[in-house]
Amino acid sequence: MIHQSAAQMADALAKGETTSVELTQAHLDRIAAVDGQVKAFLHVDTEGALAQAKDVDARRKSGEKLSPIAGVPLALKDVLAQKGVPTTAGSKILQGWRPPYDSTVVSKLKSAGVVIMGKTNMDEFAMGSSTENSGYGPTFNPWDLTRTPGGSSGGSAAAVSSFEAPLAIGSDTGGSIRQPAALTGIVGVRPTYGAVSRYGLIAYSSSLDQAGPFGRTVLDTALLHEVMAGHDVRDATSINAPVPAVVNAAKSGDVKGMKIGVIKQLQGEGYQKGVQTRFDDSLHVLASLGAEIVEVDCPSFEYALAAYYLIAPSECSSNLARFDAMRYGLRTGDVDGASAEAVMSSTRDAGFGREVKRRIILGTYALSSGYYDAYYGSAQKIRTLIIQDYAKAFTKADVLVSPTAPTTAYKIGEKVDDPMAMYLGDVATIPVNLAGICGMSLPAGLADEDNLPVGFQIMAPAMQDQRLYQAGAALEAALLSKWGAPILSKAPELKGAK
Amino acid sequence: MSSLSRDDVAKLAGLARIEMTEAELVELSSQFGMILDAVARVQEMDLSGVKATSHPQPLENIARPDVVLPSLSPEDALSGAPAQEESRFRVPQILGEAE
């Protein structure tokens, strides 16, 4: 049952062939059996999940009209507030915090009857690309437990790829949904900035953050996308427009006559051979389906990584000022006579990990007087050029494509002491965030040299998210018929699995 | 090659209200040269006449009607407080004894 797609599970629920309680219990059993090795979850809400499942079964029985994925269980990245359930953003500074409110994404999941099984591991405050920066230890890639699942939404990606959950939610500030999707052989989408409410999403870099769906198929991801997106008065940057018809697009999956632009700057040198080969193979498949492949030039993308690692740390140094040990979270050093400032400094030292401190200090530097124009100011101008490059490219192509990440999953510990090497993993995903547009990663096969998953990235203009699903579904179907079985069937069985 | 001394890092850490150990200060200062060199690449392009983008959307202020909506109860608002007293957040002293 757990190996089905979310769409198949939803179908079985609608037909009365199974119940949400049964389905949720099967996934909780899977978590109990394998999560000791994968460590995708920080908190499993067994009781809460079964209560939600029971409730949705009762609603179905009473004849209530339910959402298409009602009763299907899901794993939630620990960056989203869920009332009464521990929410840490992977940080020790929030250990034990139980939010007194639901994020809008959680409210939408609850009203859609989606069962939230627990909170998944992540790089602390979503700062990282490997989940190794979690304050609670790393998550392990189900394809090879000595490797990282990517990050920062590594827990959510590992949960879906290890069949602990059919669906999951992540957040993507510089690639944190697409890159772990690529490294674990699943589908992940970063919707257009403003398409999904950020109310209750613990902020890292507010002009870049966006929550989005993970699934094992393009259609599953679309079903979740449609449930979580939509305008919200509680988020001033939320777009007041209808959600693009992503489910219909995922069902039609057609690229005949579609113009697909290959970004010159996001391939070749610096990309692992097997990654480039699978990417090129996918392009041939798309061409054989009737797509027109063109090359596009985005010269300013060469500076996107540098701009990102100024803009995101600058915004984070401001956003994380809220962790001041006064209203919630950790407080240390509160001894008689200690000043508020001393308590704040002691708490932030004890509660924040290495990478978070590094980025706060970098952001503080980039925003300080005398350096502001040279660093943050220049980065903002590069951002303008990247937006212009995209605008020009989208006059020549309907969607743009690249490999999602330059390499396959790397070993735990391999890059942890070399921040720049780690940052390079985001080189192909970051431009989407800087421009506020949307992107998808879907499996393109396994790299020949290491038999690990490779991700194929598709990008579309703002609020044209349906194009991702239309092209993604077409490629997915063609690759599936070529391979004969879904890519996850090639992943090794996890020990303890039934 | 850019660099940031141990004392520079200590000053920034003070501004960011993070008390750091000597080992942390030394480690960060040793990593910063490389990171600053990488991000300083934003200065390589001719950016004269290019406008800055702070946000992907054209942001505008949005006002809502001035009516009372449900919000957190005092109990809920205080539920995560490290310390509380008489339905308020208890915080360390912010002014000196003499003030």
Whether A436 sits inside 8 A of B56 (CB atoms) is yes
The number of residues in chain B equals: 99
Q: What are A436-467's pLDDT values in tens digits?
A: 999 999 999 999 999 999 999 999 999 999 99
Q: What is the CATH number of the domain that holds A434?
A: 3.90.1300.10
CB < 8 Å to B54, chain A:
207, 380
| CA B14 to the chain's CA centroid | 12
CB–CB of A194 and B72 under 8 A? no
Of A337, A344, A382, the CB nearest to B17: A344
In a domain, A164, yes or no: yes
Q: Tens digits of per-residue pLDDT, A366-396? A: 999 889 999 999 999 999 999 999 999 999 9
Q: Write out the catalytic residue numbers of A.
A: 77, 152, 176
The reported pLDDT for the residue numbered A337 is 86
Whether A236 sits inside 8 A of B17 (CB atoms) is no
A339: in domain:
no
The pLDDT assigned to A393 comes to: 98
Residue B1: DSSP 8-state: -
Q: Does B48 touch chain A (CB under 8 A)?
A: no
Q: Which residues of chain A have pLDDT under 50?
A: none
Asked if B41's CB is within 8 angstroms of A345's CB, the reply is no
Are A433 and A190 within 8 A, CB to CB?
Answer: yes
Residue showing tokens 């589908």: A187
Mutual angle of helices A20-38 and A154-161, in 10-degree steps: 120
Q: SS3 string of chain A? A: CCCCCHHHHHHHHHCCCCCHHHHHHHHHHHHHHHHHHHCCEEEECHHHHHHHHHHHHHHHHCCCCCCCCCCCEEEEECCECCCCCCCCCCCHHHCCCCCCCCCHHHHHHHHCCCEEEEEECCCHHHCCCCCCCCCCCCCCECCECCECCCCCCHHHHHHHHCCCCCEEEEECCCCCCHHHHHHHCCEEEECCCCCCCCCCECCCCCCCCCEEEEECCHHHHHHHHHHHCCCCCCCCCCCCCCCCCHHHHHHHCCCCCCEEEEEHHHCCCCCCHHHHHHHHHHHHHHHHCCCEEEEECCHHHHHHHHHHHHHHHHHHHHHHHHCCCCCCCCCCCCCCCCEHHHHHHHHHHHHCCHHHHHHHHHHHHHCCCCCCHHHHHHHHHHHHHHHHHHHHHHHHCCEEEEECCCCCCCECCCCCCCHHHHHHCCCCCHHHHHHCCEEEEEEEEECCCCCCEEEEEEEECCCCHHHHHHHHHHHHHHHHHHHCCCHHHHCCCCCCCC
Give the structural domain span for A51.
6-301+383-490
Chain B residue whose CA is closest to A421:
B35
Q: How far is A42 from chain B (nearest CA, A)?
A: 19
Residue A367 maps to a domain: no
Q: Which of A148, A242, A146, A251 lies closest to A195, judged by CA? A: A242
* Chain A residues within 8 A of B43 when measuring between CB atoms: 374, 378
| A352–B72 C-beta distance less than 8 A | no
Residue A377 burial by Cβ neighbours in a 10 Å radius (0-12, 13-18, 19+): middle
Burial per residue of B11-48, b for 16 or more beta-carbon CB atoms within 10 angstroms, e otherwise: ebbeebbbbbeeebbebbbebbeebbebbebbbebebe
Q: Please report, as a single letter, which amino acid is at residue B26.
A: V
A88 touching B (Cβ < 8 Å): no
Q: Tell me the C-alpha distance between A203 and A411, whole Å.
A: 28
The answer to whether A4 contacts chain B (CB < 8 Å) is no
Residues 6+ apart with CB under 8 A from A323: A93, A94, A329, A347, A348, A351, A352
Give A-chain residues touching B74 at CB under 8 angstroms.
none
3-class secondary-structure state, position B35: helix
Task: Report the alpha-carbon distance of residue A394 to residue A296 in Å, rounded.
Answer: 9
Tell me, yes or no, whether A497 lies in a domain: no
Q: What is the average pLDDT score of chain B?
A: 90
* A63 assigned to some structural domain: yes
What residues in A contact B82, CB-CB < 8 Å? Answer: 325-326, 328-331, 334
Give domain status of residue A161, yes or no: yes
Do the Cβ atoms of B44 and A303 come within 8 Å? yes
Of A418, A434, A450, the C-alpha closest to A175 is A434
- Quote the pLDDT of residue B99: 47
H/E stretch holding B85 reads strand B84-85
Interface-testing mutation among B12, B17, B71, B79, with chain A (most A C-beta atoms within 10 A): B17
Report the phi/psi class of residue A16: left, alpha or beta, with left for phi > 0 and alpha for psi in -120 to 50.
left
Region B41-64 average pLDDT: 89
Residue A341 lies in a domain: no
Q: From chain A, pick out residues whose CB is under 8 angstroms from the CB of B41.
A: 303, 306
Complex-level ipTM: 0.94
Domain count, chain A: 1
Does the residue A323 lie in any domain?
no
